[in-house]
Amino acid sequence: MIPSNRPGTLAARGAAVLQSTYGRYPIELVSGSGCRVTGADGREYLDFVAGIAVSALGYAHPAVVDALRRGADGLIHVSNLYWTEPMVLLAERLTAAAGMERAFFCNSGAEAVEAALKLGRKARPGRSGIVCFEGSFHGRTLGALSVTARPRYQDPFRPLLPDVTVLPFGEPVALDERTGLVLVEPVQGEGGMRPAPPGWLAHLREACDAAGALLVFDEVQSGMGRTGSLFAYQAEGVLPDAVTVAKALAGGLPMGAVLARGDAGTAFEPGDHASTFGGGPLVASVALAVLDVVLGDGFLAAVGERGGRLGEGLAALAADRSGITGARGRGLMQGLVLSGPRASAVVEDLHRLGLLTCPAGPDVVRFVPPLIVSDAEVDEALHLVRRAVG
């Protein structure tokens, strides 16, 4: 058997057998606990990436470990030809908490967006127009890529879906009778950790109601408690017709969902859409365990407090350092905005200091730690950022 913890070998071995779809850092991770991970060379890192906002409860959290062990002793997969209790219970609890009515389960955020796009076509027949926004990121499958306003990602794969209109993020919109669906991130992640301006989501709700279009919020990155409420739209008091969720949903296991209400919740019929692994009993059981923790007493309030601490610390740093133009975000979804395209260089400096972060565009360093992060760990991260930016 090949040892799994030999430092310095995985990059060369992986390059020989994996397609070159990722720009990986030269770090080989072998274990984790709480908000920290350990490399094959024995070095420990404070993780403020969390699998790109996936590992909401960090690593080896007892609730996740217990759910995995119990789930592995029972049904792991039976397909959606049959009913299983974890899937139904998760749908009941998640829709109730989100203000939605029905759920469709899949495996990822991009799949959830694909399902939402099809839902728009089915619920608004004859209205193929889709509105998305500058700076958006909704995934890399063909439909999701079509509404990801990034020419660098899109150009090699054209032609994409037709009838997609890209509008400025945060500015007033005008919709017409051809628009069937408006898709927006309440907090843009890959677009630079940019929250929607106050009142803008309500404006989109009014515009969609007036035009008869569906309003879909993409909360793949911002959902499951990351902003201090279960979903970012809940802090705005605006209810969409559907919301996409993934990443943190099952605490590190692959799971996504579209939650919908009204005619958006009943538009799909048998055969309209499917996912072989979607809502499987093992993954749904883990998602239920994650939801138990996130909706537990005081958890979301603590996320808001830690997020405020992190955001205020980054803002103070921006005010005190040249080369930093500001800080922005919501909850534990924060970004440090640089004066030029230096995010990758700063991230690599932070790696050398023992803090894992990642860019959110060329000029923004992203901070999305596990939601269980402590005050002391936030302060430790801020100290390392101060060292990295000089």
295-350 pLDDT tens trace: 999 999 999 999 999 999 999 999 999 999 999 999 999 999 999 999 999 999 99
Task: Output the 3-class SS for 107-158.
Answer: CCHHHHHHHHHHHHHHHCCCCCEEEEECCCCCCCCHHHHHCCCCHHHHHHHC
Instruction: Say if residue 6's pLDDT is above 60.
Output: no
C-alpha angle with apex 124: 119 to 129, nearest 5 degrees? Answer: 90
- What are the extents of the domains in the chain? 10-60+306-389, 75-294
Residue 81 has pLDDT above 50, yes or no: yes
262 CB neighbour count, 10 Å cutoff? 15
Residue 281 and residue 335: Cα distance in Å, rounded? Answer: 36
Q: What's the mean pLDDT in 285-299?
A: 98
Reply yes or no on whether the pLDDT at 8 is more than 70. no
Percent of the chain with pLDDT over 70: 98
The CA distance from 352 to 290, in Å, is 32
Q: pLDDT > 90: what percent of the chain?
A: 96
Read off the pLDDT of each residue in 183-200 and give the average, rounded to a whole number: 98
- Contact yes or no for 287/91 (Cβ under 8 A): no
Strand-strand pairing, 194-195 and 355-356 = unpaired
What is the token pair recorded at 3? 């040892």
- CA 165 – CA 194 distance, rounded (Å): 20
What's the mean per-residue pLDDT of the chain?
96
Mean pLDDT for 236-259 is 98
Span 129-140, average pLDDT: 98
What's the pLDDT band for 9 if we cut at 50, 70, 90?
confident
Which residues are within 8 A (CB) of 237 and not within 5 positions of it... i.e. 6 or more apart?
A: 202
CB 105 within 8 A of CB 275: yes
d(CA 240, CA 214): 8
pLDDT at 5 over 70: no
| Residue 154 to residue 218: CA distance in whole angstroms | 19
C-beta of residue 240 within 8 angstroms of C-beta of residue 233: yes
Q: What number does CATH give the domain 75-294?
A: 3.40.640.10
10-60+306-389: CATH topology is Aspartate Aminotransferase, domain 1 (3.90.1150)
